[in-house]
Structures are given as C-alpha cells and as structure tokens.
Amino acid sequence: MDSSQFRAAAHSAIDQIIGYYDTIEDRRVLSGVEPGYLKNLLPDGPPVDGEVWAEIQKDIESKIIPGITHWQSPNFLAFFPANSSYPGILGELYSAAFTSANFNWLCSPAATELETIVLDWLCKLLNLPECYLSTSPNGGGGVIQGSASEAIVTVVVTARDRYLKMLSAGAKTAEEKEEIIDAHRHKLVALFSDQAHSSTQKGCQIAGVKHRSIKVPGSPTSNYSLTGPLLRQKLEELNEQGLEPFYLTLTLGTTSTCAVDNFAEIIEVLKAYPQIWVHVDAAYAGAALICEEFQHLTAGFENFDSFDMNMHKWLLTNFDCSCLYVKERKNLFDALSITPAYLRNPFTSSGRVTDYRDWQIPLGRRFRALKIWFVMRTYGVFGLQHHVRNIISIGEHFASLIKSRPDLFTIIVPPAFALTVFVVNTVNGGGAEERNKLTKTVYESINEEGKIFITSGVVDDIYMIRVIGASSKTRKEHLERAFGIIVEMAEKVRGEKEEYKNADVGEVGEVQLRGL
C-alpha cells in the first residue's frame, strides 16, 4: 500500500466510520451472533498474495460489524461506558503513525513529556492534592496504564515491595535481608471491601500475596460503603491471626452500585497503620471529580498513596487510557525498575527525565498522551464538565422515572453517578427468592429482545438490574425509551408468573459483573 493507495483507503475508512457512528442507533446494540460465527466466514489462513483495500473493507461491514456490540450506541446501558470520541480517534491515528516503543525518554521525548504534562493537567482538573503532581516536592506523578486492573497490579506489587523493604531495612547483609523477606512474605495480606472490583483479588494472585475482603452492609446502614469501624475490626482480626496487612483498595464508585467508601473515617483508623499502602480505585466515577460539586470527595487524599481513574470510561478518550497517580514515584522504581540503584541516571531520579518503563509492568508503551491532549483541547474544560453533568442529569431523570412506578420497581441503593440499581417487585409481596427470579427473568428478556443492553448484579443475595447510559450520544429520550421497554417487559413477565418462577437464579449476574 503506497501513499496514494493509503490516502484513498483512509478516506474510505473515515467515511465508513462516520457512517457507522451516524447510524449506530439503528443497529441491534448487543451483537446477536452465535459463538464461532466468524470461523465459518473466513478462510483457514492468510492469502498468499496481497489483496487490495476494497476487498478487505467490504468484509468489515459484512463480517466484523455483525459481531460488534455497540458500546457507543445510546442504547448501550450496560457495564460502565467506554467513551469514544472523534478527537480520541485522531489521537490513536497519530499514535499509530509515530509508532515507537517509548520505553524510555530517548525513544521519543515528546511521548514521555506530553504524558507528564497532560497528566498534571488532569491531576489539577480532578482536584487531587498537589502531592500527586509530577512537580511535587515529594516526587509524585501520573502515568497512563492500559486499565484500572493493570494499575492495581502495579500498586499491589509496589506496596508489597515497599513493605518488605521496610521490614528488611535493618539487615546487614543481602543474605540476612533475604531471610527476613522469606520469613514474612506469606504473612502479607491485602484488603478490600467485598464491593471493590475483583481486580484487587487478581492483582494479589499475580503478586503472590494473600487477600481478605471486608463484608460491607447495604441500605440503610452503609449502602455498600466501607466504613472506619468495619476496617478497624478487620485489622484487629488479622493482627490476632498473625497476618500483616500491607495494602488496601478503597473505591470511589463501586462496580455494582457506585458506592463511595467513607474516606474520612478510614483516614482516622489508618493513622495507627502507616505501613499500609492505600489505593483509591475511581475507575469510572473519578471522572465526576472534574466538576466542583464532586470535588469535596478528594478531601484527605494526601493521606493515600495512589489513585486511578479511567479517562477511557466517561471522559471521551478512547480505550485504553487509565490514569494512575502515585504520591512517591520512587516506590514504583524500587519495585519495577531492573536498573540497579547505583546505575540509575541522575536525570531520571531527579525527575528531569522520566523513563515510564519503570512506572509499569510492560516495557514498551504506546503514545497515548496524544489522545488526552486532543480530547482536552477539543472539548475544553467546560465541554468535559458539560458531558459529565449532562450524563448525571439524564441518570437522575431515569431514576425518577423508576421511582414513579413503586408498584413495579424498588430502588435498593441511592442512584449515583448516573447509575440506577433496582429490582422488580413481585405481584403479591412474594419473598426474596421470588423477587430474584422475577428480576432475573425481566433482565434476561430485555437483553434477549436486544433493543437495549443492560447488566445485572447480585449483591447481598439480591438480584439487581443496573442501568447506566453514558455515551457521547446519550440523550434524555434514550433513557425514556429504555424506561418504556423495561416497564413493558416487567409488566409482561409479572403477568406470566409461572414462567419466571421456574427461572434458575444461579450466579450468572454476579459472574457477568465480576468480569467487568
């Protein structure tokens, strides 16, 4: 493909993409293909001789798009969103054009420096304390990771090594140091509430450390938020068991219900446990921090060690773009750099030159800062705030519609960050099991019908439906239409009592959310 063939191919691709976005609402939001559909459509191997673009492009519409679930459709009300945007796409285009491995500053200084700059911009926008800025006296800073889950593995490993280093600081020889570490490694335990995202559990599996979850009650006690007393109790329990807590994930916007942990209480409790690394997982809801009305939530964050939010969820920046901030980048280098301390470049240590390979698990990295830069400049701060506020107001409108039908629905926890979580009421006050069966049948029937795509979850043995619309195309009318679809299905299923009573309420919903 030469330059002029590329120009023609790219123009045609751009037209196809625009056409896709302009008609996305007309497509069935959840792909309806059967497992293995594509294998039947493609040959057993690549062609021996090359093909022209027109041949390849034809197959995108006929073979690929039928297998796409349309996350950018305003009828996508499932999981959390994964916002795309036109400036975000342009960012990916240039990133691909400037392809380089970017493992250190020299690989492409612009890739490193733009990342530091736009992450400092974002740090201020999110109202994070100054200690997370690259310019802070303590040596903090941000780095783009692929996902919030990758960020969590990174900080669990870093926390583990900071703790082991602290324990073995007094060792006089390398052997003695190793002995101390070997004697303690299996006692380390990471903590998180049972509402935290499953990626902390996975991060602990990878880091090879034990983990314990803290059960948090629902409405009206604490609405699935981790509290100070619950944390203190667990810490004392672990102490009695001879285990050594070294890490805690807190959540700003849990997956199931968008709960926010009680940061103020937790900060008080943790004063007695300075060895614990505290990470705030704000993967989805962190985006709301760009609006003043949510900025009170970051009070006291200077007491924590790291914070992560995904611009690729709700801030119009194409996946992947998870923004991780740490208070002391030195801890990352200690855990992840393979350059021995005595060989480290003084420029790197001083922060004059940043080698992001030492801030992450992989070595190479893409030039992802470009898309943040394009998105922030195209929308401006006002544009991004408008998007967040608009989505929240549409979410509140949807919640008020659900509330307007107390005969059909019960909202289990206060709606938050545009997420509404509810159950379907049984006709004559049936028990919890019957309500679960009914809710599950309604949920599954809606997705089977395919006009909208929603998710469910099981929390505290309650089977719940989750609805969240947060794409760039989401308007009030889309959620009104969704409400109509949900009402209609709920009424229909409630009328077919015998049918839903036979539903098998396994843990399907929970499993689906765990994967989110």
| Contact set for its own copies, span 156-195 (CB under 8 A) | 157, 160-161, 181-182, 185-186
Closer residue to its own copies, CB minimum distance, 62 or 239: 62
Of the listed pieces 236-244, 245-253, 484-492, 508-516, which binds its own copies according to CB under 8 A? Answer: 508-516
Closer residue to its own copies, CB minimum distance, 357 or 494: 357
- E strand or H helix at 210: strand 210-214
Site string for its own copies, 267-306 (x = CB under 8 A): ----------------------------------------
* 25, 28, 138, 147: residue in contact with its own copies (rule CB under 8 A): 147
Rounded Cα–Cα distance for residues 439 and 424 (Å): 5
- Only one residue has tokens 């493992």, namely 103
Of the listed pieces 216-224, 242-250, 341-349, 409-417, which binds its own copies according to CB under 8 A? Answer: 341-349
Report CA dihedral (255, 258, 264, 269) to the nearest 10 degrees: -30
The pair phi, psi for residue 415, each rounded to 5°, is: -60, 145
Closer residue to its own copies, CB minimum distance, 21 or 273: 21
Closer residue to its own copies, CB minimum distance, 443 or 483: 443
- E strand or H helix at 231: helix 228-240
Q: How far is the CB of 425 from its own copies (least distance, A)?
A: 28
- Only one residue has tokens 């914070």, namely 307
The reply on whether position 38 binds its own copies by CB under 8 A is: yes
The reply on whether position 87 binds its own copies by CB under 8 A is: yes
* 58, 215, 352, 476: residue in contact with its own copies (rule CB under 8 A): 352
Closer residue to its own copies, CB minimum distance, 284 or 409: 284
The pair phi, psi for residue 503, each rounded to 5°, is: -65, 145
Q: How far is the CB of 6 from its own copies (least distance, A)?
A: 4
Q: How far is the CB of 57 from its own copies (least distance, A)?
A: 9
Strand partners, 142: 325
The pair phi, psi for residue 216, each rounded to 5°, is: -115, 135
The reply on whether position 474 binds its own copies by CB under 8 A is: no
Q: How far is the CB of 69 from its own copies (least distance, A)?
A: 5
The pair phi, psi for residue 246, each rounded to 5°, is: -130, -10
Q: How far is CA 426 from CA 178, 437, 505, in A?
A: 61, 9, 15
The reply on whether position 206 binds its own copies by CB under 8 A is: yes
Closer residue to its own copies, CB minimum distance, 264 or 363: 363
Q: Output b/e per residue, 88-112; b: 16+ Cβ within 10 A.
A: bebbbeebeeeeeebbbbebbeebb
The pair phi, psi for residue 253, each rounded to 5°, is: 100, 80
Rounded Cα–Cα distance for residues 249 and 261 (Å): 10
The reply on whether position 406 binds its own copies by CB under 8 A is: no
Of the listed pieces 40-48, 218-226, 270-278, 398-406, which binds its own copies according to CB under 8 A? Answer: 40-48
Q: How far out from the chain centre does Cα 477 lie?
A: 26
* 363, 393, 449, 475: residue in contact with its own copies (rule CB under 8 A): 363
| Nearest residue to 90 via CA among 10, 20, 4 | 10
Sign of the torsion formed by the C-alpha atoms of 97, 102, 106 and 107: negative
- Only one residue has tokens 């994070």, namely 128
Site string for its own copies, 99-138 (x = CB under 8 A): xxx-xxxxxxxxx-xx-xxx--x--xx-------------
Of the listed pieces 49-57, 225-233, 414-422, 462-470, which binds its own copies according to CB under 8 A? Answer: 49-57
